[in-house]
Amino acid sequence: MENLIALLIAAPLLGAAVLLCGGRRLDKAGHWLGTLFAAASFGIGVALFTDMLGRAADDRTLSQKLYTWIPVEGFQADVAFQLDQLSMTFVLLISGVGTLIHVYSIGYMEHDERRRRFFGYLNLFLAAMLLLVLADNYLLLYVGWEGVGLASYLLIGFWQHKSSAATAAKKAFLVNRVGDMGLSIAIMLLFTTFGTFAFGPVFASVGNATEGKLTAIALMLLLAACGKSAQVPLQSWLGDAMEGPTPVSALIHAATMVTAGVYLIVRSAAVFNGAPDAQLVVTVVGAVTLLFGAIVGCAKDDIKKALAGSTMSQIGYMILAAGLGPIGYVFAIMHLVTHGFFKAGLFLGAGSVMHGMNDEVDMRKYGALRKFMPVTFVTFGLGYLAIIGFPGLSGFFSKDMIIEAAFAKGGTQGWILGGVTLLGAGITAFYMTRVMLLTFFGEKRWQPDAAGHEPHPHESPKSMTVPMVILAFGSVFAGAFFEIGERFLKWLEPVTGYEHGNSPVSAMAVTASTMVVLVVGVGIAWSMYGRRPVPVLAPRGSLLTRAARRDLFQDDFNHVVLVRGGEHLTRSLVYVDHSLVDGVVNGTAASVGGLSGRLRKLQNGYARSYAVSMFGGTAILIAATLLMRAV
């Protein structure tokens, strides 16, 4: 059975190779091929999953070693895979949601002449992400990590004719590099500390390392996670990444890419457990991002950017949960899976809306679309209910668990974190309700597009609605399915460990207060956007709104601190380089050149002249010998 693991990755990788190398003759069948390869991967994943269910809980880890990648004495890097419950969860999420997005893209990208290439990139994205979650050592994980970065770059910049898309792709790539640097440093630290990269030996010998070293490693891993998962301070690329086609956004936000950071932290649980200070930083990063994303999401009029803010915020929940330690790991992953369902559904729904509205993204120019797009409305609505945590739906269970776990952290920390998560839940309810109301309710505020075409909203084709329906099912039932009988907890516990924290507030109280903030959030949104007509042009808004529209000055901050600072640094370095380094080098060169010009005169080409030099040299040698003997 373990021999199938490599096939999980091989299928989409082969798909990418075939599609990208196949040339134009595959243009007609490319999308079907790509979908087929993704589905094949999902099929293998399901087969492995059923096999895994058939075995005892402590016997569920499979491993497969393909070959030794770098066979050097004292530096062994294997291409080896490890499939345990955690990886399995990701495999199913990635390949499952990924396949649905493939199907959706068939319809969405129908009129794009570079569709084959798009599917090739999608397959590459899946392959890289699967490699990331299946690797059994950090070095191979790093390969997948970089592969994800590459695929995201290609996909975000897919419409490269738009300069904004090209810039966004570059921005995502560059910001991710900062995180990648963290990961590479972490890997080097791991190697110097433990002498190996493999997960098993590293986690087994965590106890031998000092806490300082573990903290350093954990912080570097956190930096990496911040890059990929768009956490503060490396969050700025996520909003711009919306320049990519909508299926890409769905893929990045739901199944791949941003989940990689959460995976990395949960996978390295052993390291983080040994570094409480780093864990505290993780929770702080999670909490800050949670509020940051939520606030940004409230102010955006671009439907995709609002959803992007929401993703940032939800990933913040997961990171926060992962930072809580064993009480939170399971819930981080659980929220990740449920979020995968409803966020994919929401993005696909947003894509469907844009598809019907001439690619208009401004929600202020939507309105009253529920009558024209019933399927999209229902599926989007279910996703909406799930994300705000409507009782009984997925988000309700997973988010509730995280809030509970945050309170269970204990002490002042617990109260603060619990408060932040509760506040986040309220803001989530607000901005998601706002998206819902602006898009589907109210009056028509449609505007002709730049070419003067009036929008004619219509329901999207089957290839797009079917995945949305399936994802809506997931959004509704996944949470309950996981929660009943604590199935998910029992499933993941052998890998991540679990301890039940002592919450100062009872579960009932948490649920009740969540309901309260939810209702308050929805109520405020209703009073602002439901009861009165929405202006097509955005009002000036309060200071906070304006700040949030500018992504809370994230780009301005980066510009002032990093870009300007970098420019000044470079300028001074250039100055030093010109005056000092070049001065020395050029001076040396000039003096050598001048000296050579004079020495060249000696080199007159006459053999006899050289003979005189030789003869004189011999005479001097003899003199020296005699002198030495005389002394």
Partner 1 sequence: MSTIAAAATVTSTGEAVQFWVLGTVAVIGALSTILMKKAVHSALSLAGTMIILAVFYLANGAYFLGVVQVIVYTGAIMMLFLFVVMLVGVTAADSLKETLKGQRWMALLCALGFGTLLIAGIAHARLNHFNGLGRINSGGHVEGLATLIFTKYVFAFEITGALLITAAVGAMVLTHRERTERAATQRELAERRVREGVQLPPLPAPGVYARHNAVDVAGLLPDGTPSELTVSKTLRARGQIRDVSSQALSDLKALEQASAERLGREEASQ
Partner 2 sequence: MNPVNYLYLAALLFTIGASGVLIRKNAIVLFMCVELMLNACNLAFVAFSRMHGNLDGQIIAFFTMVVAAAEVVVGLAIIVSLFRTRHSASVDDASLMKL
Report the residue number, 24 or 608, with the smaller CB distance to partner 1: 608
Report the residue number, 557 or 615, with the smaller CB distance to partner 2: 615
| Cα gap 158→190, rounded to integer Å | 36
Between 520 and 549, how does the x/- string for binding to partner 1 read (CB under 8 A)?
------------------------------
**Residue 629 interface partner, choices partner 2, partner 1, none, CB cut-off 5-8 Å depending on type:** partner 1
How many residues form the binding site for partner 1 (CB under 8 A)? 14
- From 32, 75, 553, 615, residue interacting with partner 2 (rule: CB under 8 A): 615
State yes or no: residue 616 binds partner 1 (CB under 8 A). yes
How many residues form the binding site for partner 2 (CB under 8 A)? 10
| Cα gap 13→295, rounded to integer Å | 38
Q: Is 444 helix (H, G, I), strand (E, B) or coil?
A: coil
State yes or no: residue 606 binds partner 2 (CB under 8 A). yes
**Residue 563 interface partner, choices partner 1, partner 2, none, CB cut-off 5-8 Å depending on type:** none
Using the contact rule CB under 8 A, the part of the chain among 91-99, 168-176, 389-397, 600-608 near partner 2 is 600-608
Residue 494, preceding peptide bond in cis (omega within 30° of 0): no
Positions in 104-133 near partner 1 (CB under 8 A):
none
Report the residue number, 574 or 619, with the smaller CB distance to partner 1: 619
Q: Which amino acid is at 250?
A: A
| Cα gap 179→563, rounded to integer Å | 17
| Cα gap 304→518, rounded to integer Å | 22
Report the residue number, 506 or 625, with the smaller CB distance to partner 2: 625
**Residue 519 interface partner, choices partner 2, partner 1, none, CB cut-off 5-8 Å depending on type:** none
**Residue 512 interface partner, choices partner 1, partner 2, none, CB cut-off 5-8 Å depending on type:** none
State yes or no: residue 599 binds partner 1 (CB under 8 A). no
State yes or no: residue 611 binds partner 2 (CB under 8 A). yes
Q: How far is the CB of 596 from partner 1 (least distance, A)?
A: 21
- From 32, 557, 575, 615, residue interacting with partner 1 (rule: CB under 8 A): 615
Q: Is 302 helix (H, G, I), strand (E, B) or coil?
A: strand
Q: How far is the CB of 598 from partner 2 (least distance, A)?
A: 12
| Cα gap 540→159, rounded to integer Å | 32
- Please, which residues have CB within 8 angstroms of residue 210's CB and are 6 or more apart in sequence? none
- Please, which residues have CB within 8 angstroms of residue 631's CB and are 6 or more apart in sequence? none
CB of 62 closer than 8 Å to CB of 1 = yes
Using the contact rule CB under 8 A, the part of the chain among 178-186, 224-232, 406-414, 604-612 near partner 2 is 604-612
| Cα gap 492→617, rounded to integer Å | 84
Nearest alpha-carbon partner for 457 in 346, 360, 345: 360
The CA-atom distances, in angstroms, between 586 and each of 204, 579, 583, 592, 594 are 56, 10, 5, 10, 12
Report the residue number, 611 or 623, with the smaller CB distance to partner 2: 611
State yes or no: residue 607 binds partner 2 (CB under 8 A). yes
Q: What is the DSSP string of 134-189?
A: HBSBHHHHHHHHHHHHHHHHHHHTSSTTSHHHHHHHHHHHHHHHHHHHHHHHHHHH
Using the contact rule CB under 8 A, the part of the chain among 58-66, 329-337, 407-415, 622-630 near partner 1 is 622-630
Q: Tell me, what DSSP letter sits at residue 529?
A: I
Nearest alpha-carbon partner for 290 in 272, 270, 316: 316
Q: What is the DSSP string of 510-521?
A: HHHHHHHHHHHH
State yes or no: residue 450 binds partner 2 (CB under 8 A). no
The 3-state secondary structure of 53-114, one letter per residue:
HCCCHHHCCEEEEEEEEEEECCEEEEEEEEECHHHHHHHHHHHHHHHHHHHHHHHHCCCCCC
Report the residue number, 532 or 600, with the smaller CB distance to partner 2: 600
- From 502, 506, 603, 625, residue interacting with partner 2 (rule: CB under 8 A): 603
- From 207, 453, 629, 631, residue interacting with partner 1 (rule: CB under 8 A): 629
Report the residue number, 75 or 615, with the smaller CB distance to partner 1: 615
Using the contact rule CB under 8 A, the part of the chain among 136-144, 172-180, 192-200, 616-624 near partner 1 is 616-624
| 419: its two tokens | 């408060």
Q: Which amino acid is at 111?
A: H
Q: How far is the CB of 591 from partner 2 (least distance, A)?
A: 19
Using the contact rule CB under 8 A, the part of the chain among 256-264, 421-429, 569-577, 605-613 near partner 2 is 605-613
Using the contact rule CB under 8 A, the part of the chain among 21-29, 61-69, 372-380, 611-619 near partner 1 is 611-619
| Cα gap 63→288, rounded to integer Å | 37
State yes or no: residue 621 binds partner 2 (CB under 8 A). no
State yes or no: residue 519 binds partner 1 (CB under 8 A). no
State yes or no: residue 601 binds partner 1 (CB under 8 A). no
Summarize as ranges the residues that interact with partner 2 (CB under 8 A).
600, 603-608, 611-612, 615
Summarize as ranges the residues that interact with partner 1 (CB under 8 A).
604, 606, 608-609, 612, 615-616, 618-619, 622-623, 625-626, 629
